[in-house]
Chain A
Amino acid sequence: MSFKTNTLAVLAASTIAATSAFAGGHSLSGDLRIFLDTSNPAPRATMEAMIDRFGELHPNLNIETTVIDREAYKTQIRNFLTANTPDVATWYAANRIRPFVEADLFEDVSDLWMEPEIANNLASTKGAMTIDGKQWGVPYTYYQWGVYYREDIFAQYGLTEPTTWEEEKANCQTLLDNGVKCYTIGTKFLWTAGGWFDYLNMRTNGFEFHMDLAQGNVEWTDDRVRATFANWQELIDMGAFIDNHATYSWQEALPFMVNGDAAAYLMGNFAVAPLREAGLSDDQLDFYQFVEITPGIAKAEDAPTDTFHIPANATNKEAAREFLRFVVSAEQQTIINGPDNLGQLPVNAQSAVADDEFLNQGFAMLSSNSPGGVAQFWDRDSGAEMAQASMQGFQEFMVRPERLDSILDRLERTRQRIYE
């Protein structure tokens, strides 16, 4: 009895201690301006609620939040980092931060990463936040990628979750024979094709090679790259992907899966919410890890991480740092990634993962079944220019696979210009 009370008291005390330790001994004041790209309704509400909780801890701080359309944000960030700068801004991990780091527009927050709370609990994402040995921000959420599929359609044709490339193709052939496309995809905005390339290349050649290619150290005309495209071409030649995918955005490709015209979608976990909204129950929808292609190569996964940063031109950096500590704390991580909020994976090792079919599978996959490593995503791991050129090439390849040689030659020229 007394033991129980004690534990509770200790727990409570430690929580209070944790939060007040964050407060840095004296209360924060002034203005704190926060720019968010979480413009979809659910993430927006999640963030605003979290900021309210932060505000309650710091009543003297005047917090001003601006939410910008997610797509528009990607081009506008370069403006507001130089003029009319906020104190905190959202962004993406890995190479997407590089242009701003190189232009001295992000604050070095390595000091935060030395604090034990963060150093111990966020170690797994440290690499994605590091450039030149320093850390430039903190993560607040991440999510798995993989194959989301129609369990009921698989059952109808007697298919099971594949684990090898041969099984994957055999499943696909069965579906095609029954008039169902294997995969839906919308490549109008290119990055969805980047997801396919990530998986095909990581499974064909492994994580190290993939990262080498992303960083411009490997020629695009290399035979190993060709092997990846050859695997891709097998699917294309089968007619595995829906027709006219170049006209659709990723959202516009969802109805094909909802209507049963296509059986699966290689996508990030954020696709689950709209699929459920469109009427698919958890009995109809399931998830499997992308299959093995080259036997023996350690599996690596895409798990893009979204981040918070302090612009170098921010005015209230003290409050901004405090906000970053707050965001990554175990408690807030559990809340904002919870099922009613972002519905994604928390970055803090001490946080609880929401009890959700897909998050559980994703968390298990990333923590125990991804020995090869974790990639951010093609357009975050490679530089902006190379990402643009290559994803355009991927799209072209998916529509006109016979042009592979000219596509690879072009990409190689682009690589040489950028990296040599």
Chain B
Amino acid sequence: MFPQPVEKSSAAWRNGYQALLPLALLFWLLPLIGVALFSIKPDTDFANANYWGLPSTLSLAENYSKVFFESDMPRYLLNSVFITVPTVLGAVALSCMTGFALGIYRFRFNILVFFVFVAGNFVPFQILMVPVRELTVNMGLYNTITGLVLFHVAFQTGFCTLFMRNFIRALPRELIEAARVEGVSEIRIFWYVVLPLMRPAIAALSVLIFTFIWNDYFWAVVLTQGPEAQPVTAGITSFNAQYRAAYHLMSAGSLVAALPPVIMFFAMQKHFIAGLTLGAVK
């Protein structure tokens, strides 16, 4: 193990390390802790310039209930769910198929098609902005959840295909060959042989895509405009416009907007990290 495990070091260093950990964490999360503190302060603290002292009264319930009951935040959160979940389903479903096609079969242009998916995945969003916006407007899907989902599914398919194809490549080919010899159709091989083996990849990818899409801001700004369809990342700016200079509410709103992927991360940590670090080890 590198570096040298602390339990093998001197007691002083061991204790020093244990003491350093929380301090380092505190420093690392300082900006966030500041916002968390803001979010439980009453507005009078800001008027009295009591920014960093203790809250004069604890206004946690009051501030957060304002966010949930007196603003469009619940609507934005719901939109985010309606955008994120179908995108995850769609992108994972499509990429299971494309990954299967590119990972199992040998055909001309296989590598070329694969590279197009990979390259497209790295393209700067901005070059797609004007045409995709036009396309969405022309299909009558501007400012709809559907319009946003369709684009996200398409774009994420690039990344997911890279992921799935590499995963499928690593599966034992003998299984598939054996099934073919027995005359199992390709579709059944996909459904009954390969798909069950892909479960860990599907789980990892779903968690990843959930986070990516939930946190998307650029496309939310380009393709949607109001509480009918905007996800919470874009909604938070309208929320802040409404409560401008009301830092306690803006802080509470920001934390609420950030929370779902954080919960997702802590609940599905294993899958999340597996997905993120695929390829970090050979």
Contact = CB atoms under 8 A, between A and B. Distances in A.
- Determine whether A and B are in direct contact in the complex, meaning some CB atoms lie less than 8 angstroms apart: yes
Interface of A: 39-40, 66, 68-72, 75-76, 79, 82-84, 249, 251-252, 254-255
B117 to A, nearest CB: 30
Interface stretch (B20-28, B50-58, B237-245): B237-245
Interface residues of B, number: 12
Given A79-B143, A83-B142, A72 B238 contact: yes
Interface string B243-282: 0110000000000000000000000000000000000000
B226 interface: yes
A255 B143 CA distance: 36
A254 B244 CA distance: 11
B226 A69 contact: yes
Contacts of B238: 69, 71-72
A39 B140 CA distance: 25
Where chain B touches its partner, the secondary structure class is loop
Given A39-B242, A69-B226, A79-B137, 9 more contacts: A68-B225, A69-B238, A76-B143, A79-B142, A79-B143, A79-B225, A251-B245, A252-B245, A255-B245
B245 A68 contact: no
Contacts of B140: 83-84
Contacts of A39: 241-242
B138 interface: yes
A71 B245 CA distance: 16
Nearest to B240: A249
Contacts of B244: 249, 251-252
Contacts, number: 38
A66 B226 contact: yes
A213 B142 CA distance: 37
A40 B226 CA distance: 14
Contacts of A40: 242
Contacts of B226: 66, 68-69, 72, 76
Nearest to B239: A69
10 contacts: A40-B242, A70-B241, A71-B241, A75-B225, A76-B143, A76-B226, A79-B137, A79-B225, A83-B138, A83-B142
A76 B225 contact: yes
Interface of B: 137-138, 140, 142-143, 225-226, 238, 241-242, 244-245
A125 to B, nearest CB: 28
Nearest to B49: A259
A83 B242 CA distance: 27
Given A66-B226, A68-B226, A84 B142 contact: yes
A70 B244 CA distance: 13
Closest 7 CB pairs of A and B: A76-B225, A251-B244, A69-B238, A83-B137, A68-B226, A252-B245, A79-B142
The CB with the most chain A CB atoms within 10 A, among B138, B142, B245, is that of B245
A84 B245 contact: no
A326 B245 CA distance: 37
A40 to B, nearest CB: 8
A79 B245 CA distance: 30
Nearest to B244: A251
A343 B25 CA distance: 51
Contacts of A79: 137, 142-143, 225
Nearest to A76: B225
Nearest to A73: B225
A82 B245 contact: no
B150 to A, nearest CB: 16
A72 B225 contact: yes
Contacts of A254: 245
Nearest to A69: B238
Nearest to B225: A76
Given A79-B137, A79-B143, A69 B241 contact: yes
Contacts of B225: 68, 72, 75-76, 79
Contacts of B138: 83
A252 B241 CA distance: 11
A184 to B, nearest CB: 13
B132 to A, nearest CB: 13
Contacts of B241: 39, 69-71
Contacts of A249: 244
The CB with the most chain B CB atoms within 10 A, among A72, A84, A255, is that of A72
Contacts of A84: 140, 142-143
A141 B245 CA distance: 27
A291 B245 CA distance: 31
Nearest to B137: A83
A68 B225 CA distance: 8
A259 to B, nearest CB: 8
A254 B137 CA distance: 39
Contacts of B143: 76, 79, 84
A68 B230 CA distance: 12
B230 to A, nearest CB: 9
A66 B226 CA distance: 10
A185 to B, nearest CB: 15
Nearest to B140: A83
Contacts of A252: 244-245
Nearest to B138: A83
B143 to A, nearest CB: 7
Nearest to A77: B225
A394 to B, nearest CB: 22
Nearest to B230: A72
